[in-house]
Every structure is written in C-alpha cells, then in structure tokens.
A and B are shown apart, each in its own frame.
Chain A
C-alpha cells in the first residue's frame, strides 16, 4: 500500500487558516486521498476526500498537487474545536475499505 508522510505536530492561532501537508509520492492513479481527524477521546471523523481535483466542503478544503504526490488540508478559520490529530490516508480502489492510519499530525490551536 502506498504510504503517506505528515509532520508530527503543527500549531495555529484561533481564527487563522491552517495548512496541513501530506506527502504521498508513491500514490497510484486510482488511489483516493482521504482525511480523517480524531478529537481527544473520540473515534476518527471523516473530513474530506479527493482524487485529482481540489475539493471543498463545509469542514475544509483539499488541495491536490498536479502530480498528486502531495496534498494539503486547509482549515479556513481554525477554532479550538479543531484541535485534533489529522490523518492523511490513501484508499485503493477495489481494495476494500481498509484504512491504514499512520500517526498523523497533532494540531494545536491557541487563543
């Protein structure tokens, strides 16, 4: 399975945008890029996913590099409730819905 690389931690101030990077240089053409987050003492929560084009939803935006070897999750205005571990995961088409979690990025949001 293709792997992803994320920074261990990032910090942000409340109300400011946050850009969470993810490298996936061995991604194949049919792999979807998924982002989940896990708030303290909770189960993971789906954030967003994409294949080739940039995606927006009510929670975040996903910017995918043209060569698809990296992507960035964008939180437009971070709040204290966004403090969580963010996981970037590649989903293989036809490979079942198995999610391979790394250690993710711990996002700290300060006032």
Chain B
C-alpha cells in the first residue's frame, strides 16, 4: 500500500491564481480530511469528508473548496490564492470516524507559497 499520497510536494503561486492540491489513499478509508499548518503552530482542520459525495467544513474553510467523487480521492481547491494561504497542507484518512478510537494516516504534505 502507498498509504496517503499528496501532489505536488512544493508549489509557488501568485496572488489570485487557482490550483488544486491532490490527495489519494489506497486503504479504502471512508474518512478523509485536509489540514493546514502554519509555522510554529499545530494543524488546523480545513474540510473533511465522511464518504464519497459527502463533505463538510472544518475550522478554517474560507478560500477552499473540496469534493469527494470517489472513495480514493479528496482534492483541495484554492479558488483565488492569497498570501495568507501560504502554509503546509496535510491530507489524512481513516477507516471510520464515529468510534473515537479510529487512527488517522497522514500524507507527506504539500508546501505552498503564495506571492
């Protein structure tokens, strides 16, 4: 199993540009989520999905869109990039989400710089 994969690893954008961060998992996990991590801080939840066709907002959703058309993929779209979105983005997945005991598997991250 490749686990959770993310592309690209690094990206530089200009203010106002749009892009999609890709996330895929091959573990048949129903739950997937996106976090961002700013320097010296913990991770903050952007959006999450409890299954194909179902998404919801996390703590910091503004400026981001998501969709979940398949179990495997959960792309994160930046509609109009802003310097405040400069961050490291992590995708995560887990088999379930309701029990309290489910562990999450994180991808290696995408480093985004918005100029």
A and B pair up: yes
Cβ distance A109 to chain B, nearest Cβ, rounded Å = 20
For B94, list chain A residues within 8 Å (CB): 97
Report chain B residues within 8 Å CB of A96.
31, 48, 50, 97-98
Interface size class of B (residues with CB under 8 A): 20 to 34
Contacts of B43 in A (CB 8 A): 44, 99, 101
Interface status of B74 (Cβ within 8 A of chain A): no
Instruction: Check B100–A103 contact: CB distance below 8 A.
Output: no
Which B92-112 residues have a C-beta within 8 angstroms of A? 92, 94, 96-109
Question: Chain A: interface secondary structure?
Answer: loop
- In the bound complex, do residue A43 and residue B42 qualify as a contact, i.e. CB atoms below 8 Å apart? no
B interface residues with partner A (beta carbon < 8 Å) = 4, 31, 33, 35, 40-45, 48, 50, 58, 90, 92, 94, 96-109
